């Protein structure tokens, strides 16, 4: 059965994202040097982020709140107001960084759109994700935009139902094994894993072994060839 619907992740699949979070985290480490060494600060921040997911979800706003909480956790009442102001400023910068597309994304989306309907499936803060999509100039390439609080098998089943496709005619591509690949496979779709450097450990999981609907690809451009192969084999 050929692929009729291609779902694409946004952050670190279409444009750079984690490197901006990494730069902001590095800034926090410098700010908190008087209170903790770099390793402790990074561990405390990651633990705080994961602890706060059920409260704040994903995205830059949640990350900013977790940075403030981490500073207070490590420095207590000794953290000066100037550090909190600097953290908030770093959070604002994270919200307003330029959107930098990966090389060749325009041509790749054109090629994929010639083969199937495209749907953007991304998680995080609604306002920030909408702003990044608008800044990217890619919005008109997609038949649908799905900004969700998290990605799980029910998320994908619901999307496939809305677009009227059988899961075996749908494919998800992204850089997160936890959020993009495993739930799409569980929902019955195909899945293309496109790893990127600086991936958050929370999003990493072991790759499925010998799964017939899974493929790891070196780039999004490689997805075009795989979709063609699936069409020929149908």
Give the model confidence (pLDDT) of 63-91 as tens digits.
999 999 999 999 999 999 999 999 999 99
CB 28 within 8 A of CB 71: yes
Quick one: how far is CA 185 from the chain centroid? 17
Six token digits for residue 31: 């700010």
CA–centroid distance for 187 within its chain = 19
Domains of the chain are 5-15+100-233 (3.40.50.1000), 18-96 (1.10.150.240)
Tell me what the mean pLDDT of segment 6-15 comes to.
97
- Predicted confidence at residue 201, as pLDDT, reads 87
- Where are the extended beta strands (E) located within the chain? 5-8, 117-123, 144-148, 170-174, 190-193, 214-216
Residue 1 has pLDDT above 70, yes or no: no
Task: Give the whole-angstrom CA distance, residue 204 versus residue 7.
Answer: 20
pLDDT in tens, 35-68: 999 999 999 999 999 999 999 999 999 999 999 9
pLDDT tens track for 107-134? 999 999 999 999 999 998 899 999 999 9
**228 pLDDT above the threshold of 80:** yes
Task: Tell me the residue length of the chain.
Answer: 234
Residues in Cβ contact with 35 at an 8 Å cutoff, skipping those fewer than 6 apart: 71, 74, 75, 78, 79
CB-CB contact of 184 with 156 (8 Å): yes
pLDDT, tens only, 158-186:
999 999 999 999 999 999 999 999 999 99
The residues near 133 (Cβ < 8 Å, ≥ 6 apart) are: 10, 120, 139, 145
Q: Is 198 left (phi over 0), alpha (psi -120 to 50) or beta?
A: left
Task: Look up the pTM and report it.
Answer: 0.92
**CA-CA distances (angstroms) from residue 91 to 72, 73, 84?**
16, 18, 11
Express each pLDDT in 179-210 by its tens digit. 999 999 999 999 999 999 888 888 999 999 99
């Amino acid at each position: 059965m050929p692929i009729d619907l291609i779902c694409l992740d946004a952050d670190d699949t279409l444009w750079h994202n984690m490197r901006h979070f990494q730069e902001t985290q590095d800034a926090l480490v410098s700010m908190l040097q008087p209170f903790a060494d770099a390793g402790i600060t990074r561990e405390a921040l990651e633990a705080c982020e994961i602890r706060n997911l059920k409260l704040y979800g994903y995205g830059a706003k949640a990350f900013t709140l977790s940075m403030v909480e981490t500073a207070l956790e490590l420095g207590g009442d000794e953290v000066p107001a100037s550090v909190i102001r600097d953290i908030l400023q770093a959070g604002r910068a994270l919200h307003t960084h330029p959107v930098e597309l990966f090389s060749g994304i325009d041509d790749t989306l054109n090629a994929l759109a010639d083969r199937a309907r495209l749907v953007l499936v991304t998680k995080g803060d609604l306002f920030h994700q909408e702003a990044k999509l608008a800044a990217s100039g890619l919005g008109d390439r997609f038949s649908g935009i799905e900004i969700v609080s998290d990605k799980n098998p029910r998320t994908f089943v619901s999307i496939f139902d809305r677009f009227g496709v059988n899961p075996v005619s749908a494919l998800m591509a992204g850089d997160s094994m936890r959020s993009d690949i495993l739930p799409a496979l569980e929902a019955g779709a195909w899945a293309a894993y496109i790893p990127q450097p600086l991936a958050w450990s929370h999003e990493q999981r072991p790759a499925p072994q010998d799964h017939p609907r899974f493929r790891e690809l070196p780039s999004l451009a490689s997805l075009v060839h795989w979709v063609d192969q699936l069409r020929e084999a149908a």
